[in-house]
Amino acid sequence: MSHTATLLIDCPDQKGLIARVSGMLYANGANILHADQHQDHEAGLFFMRVEWELNGFELTTFQEEFSRLAPTLEMHWRLEVSSFKPRVAVFVSQYLHCLIDLLYRRQSGELSCEIPLIFSNHDTASALAEFYGVPFHLVSIAPDTKAAAEAEQLRLLAEHKVDLIVLARYMQILSPEFVALYPNRIINVHHSFLPAFIGARPYHRAFERGVKLIGATSHYVSEVLDDGPIIEQDVTRVSHRDQLEDLIEKGRDLERVALSRAVRWHLDHRILSYGNKTVVFD
């Protein structure tokens, strides 16, 4: 895979945005590999993602030029280079299916990231962490030790320069203060088709309601429980023959897929959040 740069932009919509950005890239000799835009006509917003080859491209020059342009167009923007591997911390409790999936996908190269630490409030994942050579941190959490545990988590995250936190069926609710420190940088998987069955025991409630499809949702974590920007959702069919355990079991496959896709897209810098929504570029 070639060495590339990706520019992510959102700003008020106006004429000439694509021309200005692509023109500046062209002027700097960029060979564009992918370009995608989106306009939210209602909100009057413009979103753009451009990826180009870095071989023989003067990134610093372009960056300086662009930093002068961006403010004149009220742009929020990020510039990412493929050579940098984001550092991901995985939080997990007792269910390991999502963790196993993430570790395998990283090993296979599907997920382009480092995983410097796995954090858990249970010991269940330690052997697995060791097998994949990832430092495992166990801090049991009780109501009265929650604050201390979060302080320890934050210390570890800072120490390991973590860019993204993945909650792989982590059964603790993070405090608003914690969440506020990682805006759009914490991805959670909720085991229901949001906004249905927000909160605890979604499979139990789905079973009681007699739904014919169950789902899973991956989203960025916001201050409000299960209310952050949705990144991906998937569902599968259930019938009257499926007992609660069957829902839980079928759901695991949905959770793995919904979560790993979200993490993949985040790492590929394909997600832009605005308000409570996401733009996920193909």
Which residues are known catalytic residues? 226
The nearest distance, CB 219 to its own copies, in angstroms, is: 9
Q: List binders of its own copies among 83-122 (CB under 8 A).
A: 96-97, 100, 104, 108, 110
Dist. CA 271–CA 282, nearest whole Å: 9
Nearest residue (CB) to its own copies, 26 versus 159: 26
- Interaction between residue 124 and its own copies (CB under 8 A): no
The reply to whether 247 sits near its own copies by the rule CB under 8 A is no
Under a CB-based contact definition with an 8 Å cutoff, are residues 271 and 186 in contact? no
Rounded (10°) angle between helices 244-267 and 202-209: 130
Residue 280 near its own copies by CB under 8 A: yes
Using CB under 8 A as the binding criterion, the count of chain residues that bind its own copies stands at 66
Does 193 bind its own copies (CB under 8 A)? Our answer is yes
Q: Is the peptide bond before 195 cis (omega within 30 degrees of 0)?
A: yes
Q: How far apart are CA 25 and CA 49, in angstroms?
A: 13
- Across 41-163, where does the E strand assignment appear? 45-53, 76-81, 87-92, 114-120, 136-138
Which stretch, 35-43, 60-68, 83-91, 182-190, contacts its own copies (CB under 8 A)?
A: 35-43
Residue 62 near residue 53, CB atoms below 8 Å: no
Beta carbon nearer to its own copies, 30 or 267: 30
Q: How far apart are CA 187 and CA 262, in angstroms?
A: 8
- Beta-carbon-side half-sphere exposure of residue 15 (alpha carbons within 13 Å): 0
β-strand pairing of 4-12 with 45-53? antiparallel
Q: Kindly tell me which of 166 and 230 has the beta carbon lying closer to its own copies.
A: 230
Exactly one of 78, 201, 204, 212 binds its own copies (CB under 8 A); which one? 212
Q: Which two tokens stand for residue 273?
A: 């959040």
Task: Please identify, among the stretches 59-67, 82-90, 178-186, 241-249, the one whose residues bind its own copies according to the rule CB under 8 A.
Answer: 241-249
Classify 209 as helix, strand or coil: helix
Q: Which residues contact 279 (CB under 8 A, 6 or more apart)?
A: 38, 47, 271, 272, 273
Nearer to its own copies, 30 or 157 (CB): 30
x-or-dash string of contact with its own copies, 159-188, rule CB under 8 A = ------------------------------
| Binding test (CB under 8 A) with its own copies, winner from 232, 255, 265, 266 | 232
Using CB under 8 A, which of the segments 69-77, 114-122, 167-175, 226-234 binds its own copies? Answer: 226-234
Residue 229, interface with its own copies (CB under 8 A)?
yes
For residues 158 and 84, the answer to whether their CB atoms sit within 8 Å is no
The CB-of-204 to its own copies minimum distance in angstroms stands at: 12
**Under the rule (CB under 8 A), what is the footprint of its own copies?**
15-16, 18-20, 22-23, 25-27, 29-42, 96-97, 100, 104, 108, 110, 127, 131, 193-197, 208-213, 215, 229-235, 237, 239-241, 243, 249, 253, 257, 275-280, 282
